[in-house]
Chains A and B, each alone.
Chain A
């Protein structure tokens, strides 16, 4: 096994002879988020001179960021990114790390720690930071005879469990996640991202019941289901099936859910066994006073294993507060420091479902103020609870724009606006942004990577000119991402207007500071028809931006169709010369071959052209066409003329190809004429530009020979003249099965629905956002309502919009071969220097 944060082999450390060391002995049990942070706090207070520090950790790894296991499971972060303190850090600071060594009991009378490796270590002060473990509810069959979990069943607490699950995702197809709290939801979404079909079983009547009220929970359920996760509420799992490996679970009501992976995220229980064995007072967790002291005066407990004033916390912020207070007390920096409890706030780290909660969720006293905005249709539910003019609770679901301000108000009791509604919505008079300026420099902004406001300001002072640079430098916001908006506000405040444009922002393109809907509105309002006009009117100081041009060109074509004013320099080279640039500066030529159907005459012509222009490689593509690779730019127009075939658009952010199977004409299984429908689709939507490339396929039966289930738009004949239309599929770097949008009963209906979907995607997707991101982001339910039920009254406009694009279609090869669009359009740009040679077969 690879040890996270391991020391390079061969490194050794020197130890001072124990007897000669005058320093006190400080022993920490548990090398998790509380334990390691506590050691950091001690060192920061100069405790390295006061104490000889020994840390026991049951896990063999250095200290890592447990919160970040969710993004690791989702494949969004790598293991190395979540290391907080590698083994080297301990050595460098003179700390004796006993990684992989479990403590078994403490002899409080002799003041000694007994560990599983047989060692006995004396202490003057002992800190228990043993955290929690995943609670596995009693279910028949969940454990093997030896007490270990059945193969395929996992808790979600450690890097080792996360690794095991990641490894399992490659062979598993169906997962059941037990538990509908933060952890369960994050696990479910992460597994789904690996292509597993996921069902979530929650014993309570609504999701996240610890943080949300029933109404918000119901809205959350809908958002989660729209991601494609099935949710079963108010039901217990009673049995786990499978002899060698999990095959399913049985619910109390008798239903059986098949699965080959089971994640148990049904709550955690504090690790208290060591404390119990050592005779310390344990109730739900290890009982401590306001100085984190147990009933033994030299033993302390912090983090999730501690119970303070009746509370046991399951979040990292309280653990870090414990660490601070205890470091103050033990180092004598502030011997009177005390901890009086934490007010907790959490965010759900699930892409596509924004949830942030803090404090209480409902009013508790008669004179509590309570404000709720609920828009179940949009999946939005916002509420605040105010007591004595202070914010004591907030719930933000589906819209977390105000979270930065609310967190400030909640944490620091910042004054609240008279009009309470301003807490939840911007009434756009610019009076927002209270807080950032008043935040103390040492207040933590990014909990994942432990970055304070001061660190961020330091990075700005040190020359970082954009939010992105600051994030790169400090790693703020690079964890779960939930603090990004606060980081942005602080950077803006610290830079005081000196900020460069930030490509990471929500802008459609980096050079024009507007999100897509606003940009489209402005383009229409000012009648901007060329990219240079957009820059002149809408960009800061009218300044153009190379990286924004391609996206703007695409957008203008979408908005104006044939009436946009083309500007060659606003296009990427591929679109300028209608070919795909290759690594050696040559281009590829892919003629249109609708539905993948060709003729001997066409093949003959392609063969002749390939020979005439000495094309180094001829290749059949995955999109059922023929690719001529390695063509010199100056040869392009002549080749197109000789070919006499239209462009296949193999280079553009546009509709590219429609693959088909042979359908009912020849195939003995074919249920319908998929070939003809594919040809018709390609004819209708050829060359339509879109936020990212679009690939389609039509198959004549569910055997799916042309892979329609994994296309941006996939059409499947199901017999009796009926067709299923799938959207949002992908089989590239991301693999995703499309979502069934509708089953329709004629090829004409397929064409209409496809057009509507394309236009909706063109109007609403971000630049370069593929349908496989777009569909889950918007939500299948919403897309269905808009496109099938016309819930927003958009269908007529969508139909007209796509028709405008279809009418604007011109074959670029035919057009530019006849007459270049600009002088020297096909002039060689290739220098005479030797380029990397693409091997010629």
Chain B
């Protein structure tokens, strides 16, 4: 546990904000890791691991609302807040993401 906690975080510019249309998600690579970045209609940004822990579904193809992301394959839902699954299955990892001068910055 302590090892991961001490790992230094790095910020990665993965693309431009316009690359992600409102309400949708797109997959990017950040520091060799696949991440799905979402831009909600309220302007907020979210980033998660790209593959669904259930059966590898492409999360960036999922549907979203202010609370959750829904995987397109079997409709499992994951909360933005902490990546937990609403049905109590395995959680997804969520990453910090913000905009800087129009660039999407994901922190791993």
Contacts and interface: CB of A to CB of B under 8 A. Distances in A.
B66 to A, nearest CB: 6
Nearest to A824: B26
A829 B63 contact: no
Contacts of B75: 547
Interface in B1-34: 18-27, 34
B50 interface: yes
B66 A830 contact: no
B62 interface: yes
B83 interface: no
B34 A833 contact: yes
Given A545-B65, A831-B51, A822 B24 contact: yes
Contacts of A547: 63, 70, 75, 77
Contacts of A822: 21, 24
A546 interface: yes
A627 B88 CA distance: 36
Contact of B41 (A569, A585, A830): A569
B50 to A, nearest CB: 4
**Contact size class for A?**
20 to 34
B55 interface: yes
Contacts of A572: 63, 72
Interface string B51-89: 100011111111111101110110101000000000000
A834 to B, nearest CB: 8
A823 interface: yes
B36 interface: yes
A823 B19 contact: yes
Determine which residue in B20, B63, B73 has the highest number of CB atoms from chain A within 10 A of its CB, and name it.
Answer: B63
Nearest to A569: B23
A827 B27 contact: yes
B63 A549 contact: yes
B73 A583 contact: yes
Contacts of B66: 543-544
Contact of A833 (B23, B51, B73): B51
B69 A829 contact: no
A572 B69 CA distance: 12
Contacts of A832: 34
B56 A833 contact: yes
A568 interface: yes
A543 B63 CA distance: 14
Determine which residue in A550, A569, A822, A823 has the highest number of CB atoms from chain B within 10 A of its CB, and name it.
Answer: A569
Contacts of B21: 568-569, 822-824
A570 interface: yes
Interface residues of B, number: 34
Interface string A797-832: 000000000000000000000000011100111111
Contact of A546 (B20, B36, B68): B68
A830 B58 contact: yes
A400 to B, nearest CB: 32
Nearest to A541: B66
A585 B34 contact: no
A520 interface: no
Contacts of A824: 19-21, 26
A550 B77 CA distance: 15
Contacts of B77: 546-547
Contact of B57 (A532, A570, A585, A828): A585
A828 B60 CA distance: 9
Contacts of B72: 572-573, 581
A547 B66 CA distance: 12
A567 B64 CA distance: 13
B27 A569 contact: no
A585 B19 contact: no
A829 B25 contact: yes
Contacts of B20: 823-824
Given A550-B63, A569-B63, A585-B56, A831 B23 contact: no
A33 B98 CA distance: 62
Contact of B65 (A543, A583, A828, A836): A543
Determine which residue in A544, A568, A570, A829 has the highest number of CB atoms from chain B within 10 A of its CB, and name it.
Answer: A829
Nearest to B74: A583
Contacts of A569: 21-24, 41, 63-64
B56 A827 contact: no
A110 interface: no
Interface string A525-565: 00000001000000000011111011000000000000000
Given A543-B66, A823-B18, A829 B60 contact: yes
B26 A829 contact: yes
A835 interface: yes
A565 to B, nearest CB: 13
A836 B36 CA distance: 20
Nearest to A511: B65
Contacts of A567: 23
A829 B41 contact: no
B19 A829 contact: no
Interface string A553-597: 000000000000001111011001000010111000000000000
A532 to B, nearest CB: 6
B50 A831 contact: yes
A585 B57 CA distance: 6
Contacts of A544: 41, 65-66
Contacts of B23: 532, 567-570
Contacts of B65: 511, 543-546, 549
Contact of A829 (B18, B22, B36, B64): B36
Given A568-B21, A823-B19, A831 B63 contact: no
A570 B26 CA distance: 15
Contact of A585 (B58, B64, B70): B58
A573 B50 contact: no
Contacts of B58: 585, 829-831
A341 B13 CA distance: 78
A519 to B, nearest CB: 18
A134 B17 CA distance: 72
A549 B66 CA distance: 13
A532 B62 CA distance: 17
Given A569-B64, A831-B51, A546 B73 contact: no
Contacts of B18: 823
Given A546-B69, A581-B61, A829-B36, A835 B26 contact: no
Contacts of B26: 824, 827, 829
A778 B65 CA distance: 34
B56 A836 contact: yes
A89 B30 CA distance: 57
19 contacts: A545-B65, A546-B62, A546-B68, A569-B22, A569-B24, A569-B63, A572-B72, A576-B24, A584-B56, A585-B57, A585-B73, A824-B19, A824-B21, A827-B26, A828-B27, A829-B59, A831-B27, A832-B34, A834-B56
Given A573-B72, A831-B50, 11 more contacts: A543-B65, A546-B63, A568-B24, A569-B64, A581-B61, A823-B19, A824-B26, A829-B26, A829-B36, A829-B60, A830-B58
Please list the 3 inter-chain residue pairs (A to B) with the smallest Cβ-Cβ separation, ordered nearest first.
Answer: A569-B23, A829-B58, A829-B60
